[in-house]
Every structure is written in C-alpha cells, then in structure tokens.
Chain A
Amino acid sequence: MGATAAALTISGTTVEMAVAAVAATVHCSLTINGDLHDLDLEPRVTLLDLLRERLYLTGTKKGCDHGQCGACTVLINGTRVNSCLALAVTQDGNQITTIEGLAANGNLHPMQAAFIERDGFQCGFCTSGQICSAVAMLDEWKRGMPSAVTTHGAAADFSDAEIRERMAGNICRCGAYPNIVAAVRDVHQGSGAQ
C-alpha cells in the first residue's frame, strides 16, 4: 500500500506530508477483564498494543515484542499466549484476562500473593507475564497436559524440573527463578491439586 499526501496544520502553518495509507478498520468485540469493548481496529494492531496504548492497561509489558521473552503473556479464554504476536482483530469474541483482571473483590489472586510472599521478582518487569503464565500453567497441569520433561506413562511428579520447563516461556533477566519456582509451588500446594 503506497503513501498518500496529507496536510497537517501546526500553529497556523500547513505542512504537506506523506503518510502511509491506513488500512480499513475492522470492527470487533473483545471482553477484557470482564468488560466488553466494541472496537474499530486497524488490522496491524497487536493485542499487546491494544491493551497498552488504547485501553491503557499497562500492566502487560512489552519486552522483546517478538514472542521470545513472555513479558506480554495474557490469557485468551483461559489459555496463555504472547499478546505481542496476536493481532487484536483475530481475537474478536474472545475473553482476555490480563494481570489487572486477576484480583477479585479487592483480594490478590493467590499467585500474586505468592510472588510477594516469596519475593519472586527483582525489577518486576517480567512479573505480570510470569504470574499470568503461572496461573494458566497450573490449569494445564490439572488438565494433565504433558511437558517435555513429563515421563509418559508414569505418574507425573510436580517437580522443580516440571515447573521450570513449563515456565520456560517467561524469561526473568534479574534471575529470580528460584523464588518464582517457590511461589508457583506454594500456589500448587495450596490449591490441593497434587
């Protein structure tokens, strides 16, 4: 799509400029943390940019923006994904949960409380992604989803190796991994899901 000319007036001065043509917007409805949003979106807007730049839900972080770090992890219909690689228009009709939507009735989600209790972070930039990821990960565990370290056919043990493998989509450059593992284990034990 080529550039088109546009005129912009700044402080009484009109400036001719070339701007990239904008594709037609697409109407879609997303439920985000329980609230329905009817939106007209340019197709190139990622879910991450929609959350942060348009809805001002800045708890979800942009780390690498290439699906490698996990800082942007959110839940779509309960499943964890990298919101930086999901085009928002593809999520029409879906339920999105971000870090802002985990607490209920003024009480922190048990995973949030466990991260505080166990000091599962240093700078905190990866933390919202870690927590969203861990919440969905425990759900996957309960549903019997395998991982690369699960021994097929054997009764799977919720070992540190399992936690680390299943959390491998979230990087913490401060290196708070031991405390994150402890926090995840606390919530797992507290949930009686063993």
Chain B
Amino acid sequence: MIPFTYVRPKDTADAVALGTREPASRFLGGGTNLVDLMKMGVEHPAHLIDVTRLPLAAIERTADGIRIGAMTRNTEVAAHPLVVGGYPLLSQALLSGASPQIRNMATTGGNLLQRTRCFYFYDPSYKECNKRVPGSGCAALNGYNRIHAILGASERCIATYPGDMAVALTALDARVIVQGAQRERTIPINTFYRLPGETPHIENDLKAGELITALETRSRPLTAARSTSRCGIAIHSHSAWCRWRQ
C-alpha cells in the first residue's frame, strides 16, 4: 500500500474543509472497499480522512419518512425497527449483500460509494481501463465480461455498479444528503449516479470535498411494499465464493 497520512477530523465542517483543500484525499468509512482498493493499487490517496467517528450515526424518524446517518453501519440499518418495519426492502437488500463481518464494518455513506468489481478495473496490471486511467481504453470489451452491463453501458466502459443497497434505495426514491464547504445539498438517488458515457471515471454527482452525511426516505407504503419483489432479482447473493449453502 502506498503511504498516506491519516487524520481524524473533529467535526463535519473540519472533514469537509480538509477534503476540499486536499484533492488527493479520500473519506474513510468502514474501509471494506477503499482499503481493499488501496491494497490493489487502484486507489492511492495521499490523505485518508477518517469520518467514522463523526456524529452521523443516528437513524431517526422525520416528518415524512426516516433519516439514516451516513456513519451508521450496514448491520444497524438492516436491524433497525424503523427500517425493518417501514422499509423491509432496504433491510433485505443489506442482509442479502456482503458477509456479516463486512456489514458490521461498512457504513451507509461508504456503501453508496462502492466501486465496480469489474476485473479489469480491479487489477492495475491491465493497462486499459477508462475508469482507472481516463483515455486508456477498456479491457472488458473484449475480455471476460459476463458480469458486465447490458443496459447503460458505453463504448468507453461496460462496468456495473456493484451495490445492493443503492438498488433498494432507488426503488424507494431515497435522497442523498451531502455537505459541501459552502452548503448542504439534497440529491435524489436516481440522479446521484451517472452512466459511464464519455467519462466513466466520474461515477456520481459529488463535488470535490463533499461528504455524504445522511440518506432520507419518505413514507410511501405502496412503494415500499411493491418494491420488495421488484428489486428481488437485482439483489445478488453474497455467497459467490462460499459453499455454505450447498
């Protein structure tokens, strides 16, 4: 792993200020994807800003739904009465993805920012990856691409977004709350992610230094109930490697 500096900001404003000032920085949540990508040499931030101890770990009822702090762990969200009772789809999506150990570590904000599991993105020994090195090409186009996109792909990139939670959140019309240096923004999740197009290295609507602070859902019981089955096929088993179920 390439050396980096580590800092634990004292509050959200401090974190955002650091992230805005240092473009070569990354916010660190549970680390389950970022630390792995750093080991692989795909991510090599000069600075890690550990945001896990910021006071953003509450799950609470709002006037028209619930608000999930970005630093809540996936396990807590999946088990929380407000989620299990009001948004079972979200609970099921979380429980169907990753392992219990990963869910204990992974944060809500970090989960949203998972990066693709495209083999060619994940392995820097492949020179061609427009997502890793813009303009370098796409090794997946003529490679092993069974796990790649059918819809939404471009000639520059056919990688898929890997998360299960965001699929459920899209069905639930959730909103992503982000804090920037100047202001807080609310981004509907269906515009948060970008299709690869000509710029596959730009994956979402976040601006430099902006920190995800929370998710919000609105109470729409019909949506919550209907979407349980609608999303079923999009949620894959976490036991891709595992033989426990045989």
**Which of A31-39, A61-69, A96-104 binds B?**
A61-69
Instruction: Assess whether A46 is interfacial by the CB under 8 Å rule.
Output: yes
State whether A70 and B101 are in contact (beta carbons under 8 Å apart), knowing that A168-B242, A171-B242 are contacts in the complex: yes
Shortest Cβ distance from residue B54 to the other chain A in the assembled complex, whole angstroms: 13
* Contacting residue for A1 out of B38, B46, B95, B101, CB 8 A: B46
Verify B5–A168 contact, CB threshold 8 A.
Answer: no
Q: Enumerate chain A residues within 8 angstroms of B153, measured Cβ to Cβ.
A: none
Question: Does residue A81 face the partner (Cβ distance < 8 Å to B)?
Answer: yes
- State whether A67 touches B4 (Cβ < 8 A): no
CA gap between A136 and B224 in the complex, in Å: 31
Given contact pairs A67-B32, A85-B105, A171-B241, A43 touches B6 in the complex (Cβ within 8 A): yes
Count of interface residues, chain A, beta-carbon cutoff 8 Å: 46
- Within A123-179, which residues are at the interface with B (CB < 8 Å)? 133, 137, 140, 144-148, 152, 164-171, 175, 177
Chain B proximity of A75: nearest CB distance (Å): 10
Residue of A nearest to B91 (CB): A146
Residue from the list A23, A65, A86, A168 in contact with B99, Cβ < 8 A = A168
Assess A147 versus B95: contact at CB under 8 Å? Given A81-B104, A85-B35, A166-B100: yes
Q: Which residues of B contact A182 (CB under 8 A)?
A: none
A20 at the interface (CB under 8 A from B): yes
Is the pair B105, A66 in contact by a Cβ cutoff of 8 Å? no
| Interface residue? A55 (CB, 8 A) | no
Instruction: Take A43-B48, A70-B99, A146-B78 as given contacts and tell me if A164 and B245 are in contact as well, using a CB distance cutoff of 8 Å.
Output: yes
Query: Are A86 and B105 in contact, with the CB atoms below 8 A?
Result: yes
CA distance A147 to B94 in the complex (A): 9
Q: Mark A66-105, 1 if CB is under 8 A from B, else 0.
A: 1111100100000111100111011000000000000000
Q: How far is the CB of B87 from chain A (nearest CB, A)?
A: 12
Instruction: Return the CB mask of B25-48 against A: 1 if under 8 Å, else 0.
Output: 000101110011011000000101
Q: Are A22 and B105 in contact (CB under 8 A)?
A: no
A152-B88, A164-B245, A177-B244 known; A80-B31 Cβ under 8 A: no
A146 and B31: CB pair below 8 A?
no
User: Does B62 sit within 8 A of A, measured CB to CB?
Assistant: no
Please determine whether A87 and B31 come into contact, CB atoms closer than 8 angstroms: yes
Set of chain A residues within 8 Å of B220, measured between Cβ atoms:
none
Q: How many residues of B contact A (CB 8 A)?
A: 40
Residues of A within 8 A of B35 (CB): 46, 85-87
A186 within 8 Å of B (CB atoms): no
> Once bound together, how far apart are the Cα atoms of A62 and B234, in whole Å?
32
Interfacial chain A residues near B242, Cβ < 8 Å: 168, 171
Asked whether B243 is an interface residue with its Cβ less than 8 Å from the other chain, the reply is yes
What is the bound-complex CA distance between A147 and B237, given in angstroms? 13
In contact, B101 and A67 (Cβ under 8 angstroms): yes
Counting CB contacts under 8 A, is B173 at the interface? no
Q: Residues 106-145 of chain B: 1 if any A CB is under 8 Å from the residue's CB, otherwise 0?
A: 0000000000000000000000000000000000000000
- Smallest Cβ-Cβ distance to A148: which chain B residue: B95
The answer, yes or no, to whether B226 is at the interface (CB within 8 Å) is no
| CB of B191 closer than 8 Å to a CB of A | no
A20 — which chain B residues lie within 8 A by C-beta? 2-3
Q: In the bound complex, do residue A43 and residue B105 qualify as a contact, i.e. CB atoms below 8 Å apart?
A: no
The reply to whether B102 and A67 contact each other, CB–CB distance below 8 Å, is yes
User: Are B88 and A21 in contact, CB atoms less than 8 angstroms apart?
Assistant: no
The residue in B3, B4, B6, B39 that gathers the most chain A C-beta atoms within 10 A of its C-beta is B6
Q: Do the beta carbons of A67 and B88 come within 8 Å of each other?
A: no
Interface residues of chain B, those whose CB is within 8 Å of chain A, are 1-6, 28, 30-32, 35-36, 38-39, 46, 48, 50, 52, 75, 78-79, 84, 88, 91-92, 95-96, 99-102, 104-105, 238-239, 241-245
Q: List 13 A-B contacts (CB under 8 A).
A: A20-B3, A23-B6, A43-B6, A44-B38, A69-B241, A70-B99, A82-B101, A85-B105, A89-B6, A144-B79, A146-B91, A148-B95, A166-B100
